[in-house]
């Protein structure tokens, strides 16, 4: 309930600034993968699953992304094809400034996250939102250096572009271009993520507040770093759990 209220407040009480873009969307191809129809309406969930009704989960597209966003040397203008998945089944369109929900991809192929993030699909009809899942650079099919995993992971120089700051810049650039191409500059963006993807979502909101008006980060340990949280904090939590558990006395009686 708290998450729903948060989204309602974010999307109904915000004024979103216009954006601008500098890059172009490249090739695209449709990938008709099924997804249970249960997220359309809650009351239809069971009957829909029993009838094995399916709707298209996403379209697969590719975006020409810059390899290095923070260097102005000639060699830094290398590009690679970044994959993203889009579902506009429930989107109300740009005229009504309906929102765009973006998943900030984790360390893996983006299709797995799209197929296992049911929450976004469940709430999309309510908010008439477009869903976008962006693949993290150096994972899945979003591989620099000609798409070669072997070359991209070959040494520290090529791996130097695999960083949080570069990934966040990827997401910002792609989102702004996508909105421009859809004439949706005024549509608000909310980013989602879980685990490492949740960390990215939270950091994205902090670093690019002009791009995303909100972030929902699940299981995102954004404070578990040196000089921020005690290195013994996790052990403290485990100890407290065992103290209230049924095996505590047994363990310490051995």
- CATH code reported for the domain at 59-244: 3.40.50.1820
The count of other CB atoms within 10 Å of the CB of residue 79 is 14
Gap between the Cα atoms of 65 and 203, Å rounded:
20
Q: What is the pLDDT along the chain (254 residues), one digit of tens a residue?
A: 566 556 655 665 544 444 333 344 444 444 433 333 333 333 333 333 333 344 568 999 999 999 999 988 876 789 999 999 999 999 999 999 999 999 999 999 999 999 988 899 999 999 999 999 999 999 999 999 998 889 999 999 889 999 999 999 999 999 999 999 999 999 999 999 999 999 999 999 999 999 999 999 998 887 766 677 777 777 787 788 777 766 655 555 44
Q: 128: buried, middle or exposed (CB in 10 Å: 19+, 13-18, 0-12)?
A: middle
Q: Domain residues of the chain, as ranges?
A: 59-244
State CA 169 to chain mean position distance: 13
Nearest to 89 by CA among 34, 43, 42: 34
CA distance 54 to 57: 9
Residue 175 CB burial class (10 angstroms; 0-12, 13-18, ≥19): buried
Neighbours of 34 (CB within 10 A): 12
Please provide residue 157's backbone torsions phi and psi, each rounded to the nearest 5 degrees: -70, -45
What one-character DSSP code corresponds to residue 106?
A: -
**What backbone torsions phi and psi does residue 152 show, to the nearest 5 degrees?**
-65, -35
């Amino acid at each position: 309930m708290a998450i729903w209220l948060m989204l309602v407040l974010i999307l109904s009480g915000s004024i979103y600034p216009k954006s601008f873009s500098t890059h172009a969307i490249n090739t695209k191809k449709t990938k008709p993968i099924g997804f249970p129809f249960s997220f359309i309406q809650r009351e239809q969930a069971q009957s829909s699953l029993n009838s094995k009704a399916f709707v298209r989960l996403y379209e697969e597209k590719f975006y020409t992304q810059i390899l290095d966003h923070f260097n102005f040397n000639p060699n830094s203008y290398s590009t690679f094809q970044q994959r993203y998945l889009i579902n506009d089944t429930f989107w109300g369109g740009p005229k009504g400034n309906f929102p765009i929900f973006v998943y900030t991809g984790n360390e893996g192929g983006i299709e797995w996250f799209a197929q296992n993030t049911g929450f976004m699909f469940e709430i999309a009809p309510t908010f008439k939102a477009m869903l976008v899942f962006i693949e993290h650079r150096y994972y899945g099919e979003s591989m620099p250096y000609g798409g070669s995993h072997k070359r991209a992971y070959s040494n520290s120089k090529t791996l130097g572009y695999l960083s949080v700051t570069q990934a966040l810049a990827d997401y910002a650039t792609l989102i702004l271009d996508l909105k421009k191409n859809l004439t949706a500059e005024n549509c608000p963006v909310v980013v989602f993520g879980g685990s490492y993807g949740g960390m990215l979502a939270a950091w994205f909101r902090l670093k690019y507040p002009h791009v995303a008006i909100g972030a929902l980060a699940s299981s995102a340990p954004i404070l578990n770093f040196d000089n921020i949280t005690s290195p013994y904090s996790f052990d403290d939590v485990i100890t407290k759990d065992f103290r209230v558990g049924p095996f505590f006395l047994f363990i310490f009686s051995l």
